[in-house]
Structure 1
Amino acid sequence: MTPLIIDTDPGIDDAFAIALAAGSPEVDLLAVTTVFGNVALSNTTSNALRLLELCGRSDVPVAAGADRPLVHPTPHRASEVHGNDGLSGAADTLPLASHDVDGRHAVELMADLLRAATEPVTIAPIGPMTNVALLLAVHPELKPKIGRIVAMGGSAKGGNTTAAAEFNVWSDPEAAHRVLAEEDVPTVLVPLDLTHRCAVGAGRLDRLAAGGAVGRGLTTLTPSYRATYQRQLGLDGMVLHDAIALAEAISPGILRTESCPVEVDCSHGPGRGATIVDRRRNSPSPRRRVEVAFDADVDDLSEFVLSRIVS
């Protein structure tokens, strides 16, 4: 089994990602760490605890991390997409957590787990990358313990929060730049270019709702998210951005990637938070390369994700 840490800001697509990991025997879910993002840190942390309870994984520790970006304040959250509590206003429909949040900061919990690890650990940041940037800055000696970083974020063709920027990267561009452009840990980036192609339609969501307690619990959380995609894309369904990244963390190679230099626009103009992905075949860029996921067998991928959650 691959040891896995999820760093997250639940969030409805984050909820599906946590359930996917909880239902996958290929990974040993070591911890869930939380960060500001879709909603405030207090909400993301409470949501993570409740989601693990829903999935029968109260054994997994949850630690709270950064409640703001590294440098500049974020102008707004994503409550218009995820609801004021991050889960369509339905967080309290989830079971109460039977365990408390871990007393350590998220970065220290991750560091402790890495020190103790006997196998390379995969870290999956599926929210703003603030905690992971801090981990790499404060504990560089632990980088050899990280097998891969598999991050959801960015886009080569424009954003969903601004014309240029995807939400996770836009929320803390400086952190994303450190993780994607300045570090040397093997990294996979799963951008909007792919996740938007992996939308889940109403039929598959109905199948999920007709399944077991986890599937029913998750579909209860989706109304505001589905309404957003109906307005924006005319889609009767939704996009499970973070679960697509988790699929790669769980099953390496399920997504098809290109090795590309990536930079993040940290200016304060209209391009702030944009990911500049250099797809030129013989790019002269001196930047390190990350694996950027641009393709997958979409039907197989959707089945992989949903079949693990229907329980």
Structure 2
Amino acid sequence: MAKKLVIIDTDCGIDDAQAIMMALAAPNIEILGVTCVFGNAAVKNVCQNVLRVLSVCEREQIPVFKGSGGPLVGASNTISDHFGTDGLGDVLEDRDPQWEDKIQREHAVNAMIRLVSENQKQVSLVALGPLTNLALAVRLDPCFPEKLKDLYIMGGNMEGKGNVTLCAEFNFAMDPESAYIVLEEFLCTTHLASWEYSCRNALKWEFFDELINQDAPAARFMKTITSKCWAYSKEAMVNKRDVYFGPGFVSYDAYAMAACIDGSVVTESIECPVRVELQGSICRGMMALDRTNSLKKSHTIFVMTKCNVAKFSQLLMESLRQPCKKSP
């Protein structure tokens, strides 16, 4: 069976690292490249984080491209320290001083357009961070979306519950204009894992302990980068997620990646038009679902609502069993 061709667009924090490792472990996935964008950390840190993940999994041949360092318009938002200032928990001291030499010279947006144009209708694009690179791609090549096979997004929200602002999810709040453009102009089949979907399908903390204590380099890496991160501590202060959904382990970006790897992980979705709000002091960056067709849009997307948690858990487990032991 031919492998599914994938481009991963990421602001590589801890959950992005988990999602990337999930794709690396999937036998049906071929990663054409990883494109980097600001978000969980400055884009230079994101590039280094991706290189580190690929190194741990012994997949350094996959090309990495540096992309947008800030939102489409306006000043850059303050980088979140949800996963530490470097995006990977502020625990990695042996950074590679030669990392820039390992990044492709081609800009991430140009690479994205080229790779998709070379493999028209064959590439699944998985977007795990702010959607700036995608918005720039459609501005440079208006035909870019129609050349994609499909698009998977982790971001946005369904019910106006926000995690960084009162009503908006982080990835969309970091660049609302880009989120608006992508959800208006990418007419390819689009699947979206929202913040609420991820939180409602949280796993038990006991599963997280089992996950990171496996005997493999990837698991040890994940245990290290989560060791001092409050977002991965069940004893941490109560946050918005706990208030809305109760406690649990949530690897946000992995939900979108799992859907790309195995569509049966998603057991229920809502198909409807959506729009990202660009105005207002409270609702800017919020995604609204139009289930009554009030907007009269012709384009719908699939907003995930229910997950096969057993299948998702298995993909997570397999993702941290890397690199695979080679036969003697």
Which bracket does the TM-score occupy, shorter chain normalised? over 0.9
**Inter-partner Cα distance in structure 2 for 1:276 and 1:58:** 39
1:152-163 to 2 correspondence within 5 Å? 152-157=154-159, 158-163=161-166
Q: Output one character per residue of 1:185-215: Cα deviation in whole Å (capped at 9) or x when no partner.
A: 2211110121002323332222223321111
- Structure 1 residue 275 corresponds to structure 2 residue 287: yes
SS at match of 2:65: strand
Aligned to 1:181: 184
Aligned to 2:295: 285
1:22-33 to 2 correspondence within 5 Å? 22-33=24-35
Give the Å deviation of 1:28. 0.5
8 A contact 1:63–1:106 mirrored in 2: yes
**Inter-partner Cα distance in structure 1 for 2:212 and 2:188:** 38
Instruction: Report the count of equivalent residues.
Output: 308
Q: Output one character per residue of 1:58-102: Cα deviation in whole Å (capped at 9) or x when no partner.
A: 0110001000100122432111x1101111102336888887000
**Inter-partner Cα distance in structure 2 for 1:246 and 1:7:** 11
8 A contact 1:54–1:94 mirrored in 2: no
Deviating more after overlay: 132-141 vs 42-51? 132-141
The runs of at least 4 consecutive aligned structure 1 residues that moved more than 6 Å come to: 94-99
**Inter-partner Cα distance in structure 1 for 2:306 and 2:5:** 25
Q: Output one character per residue of 1:218-241: Cα deviation in whole Å (capped at 9) or x when no partner.
A: 121113121388322287753101
Question: Which one of the candidate residues 250, 260, 272 is aligned to 1:239?
Answer: 250
Aligned to 1:36: 38
Question: Which one of the candidate residues 262, 269, 285 is aligned to 1:251?
Answer: 262
8 A contact 1:10–1:86 mirrored in 2: yes
**Inter-partner Cα distance in structure 1 for 2:75 and 2:234:** 25
**Inter-partner Cα distance in structure 1 for 2:252 and 2:148:** 23
SS at match of 1:293: strand
**Inter-partner Cα distance in structure 2 for 1:275 and 1:44:** 25
Going from structure 1 to structure 2, the CA distance change for 1:61 and 1:230 (only over 3 Å counts) comes to: same
8 A contact 1:9–1:39 mirrored in 2: yes
Deviating more after overlay: 108-117 vs 21-30? 108-117
1:62-77 to 2 correspondence within 5 Å? 62-77=64-79
**Inter-partner Cα distance in structure 1 for 2:265 and 2:120:** 25
Q: Which amino acid aligns with 2:286?
A: A
Q: TM-score, normalised by structure 1?
A: 0.92
- Structure 1 residue 300 corresponds to structure 2 residue 311: yes
Q: Which amino acid aligns with 1:286?
A: K
Q: Which runs of 5+ in 1 are unaligned?
A: none
Going from structure 1 to structure 2, the CA distance change for 1:141 and 1:6 (only over 3 Å counts) comes to: same
Aligned to 1:49: 51
Aligned to 1:144: 146
8 A contact 2:22–2:315 mirrored in 1: no
Over the aligned positions, Cα root-mean-square deviation in angstroms equals 2.1
Aligned to 1:197: 200
Aligned to 1:107: 109
Aligned to 2:93: 92
8 A contact 1:165–1:274 mirrored in 2: yes
SS at match of 1:151: strand
Q: Output one character per residue of 1:99-118: Cα deviation in whole Å (capped at 9) or x when no partner.
A: 70000100111122112226
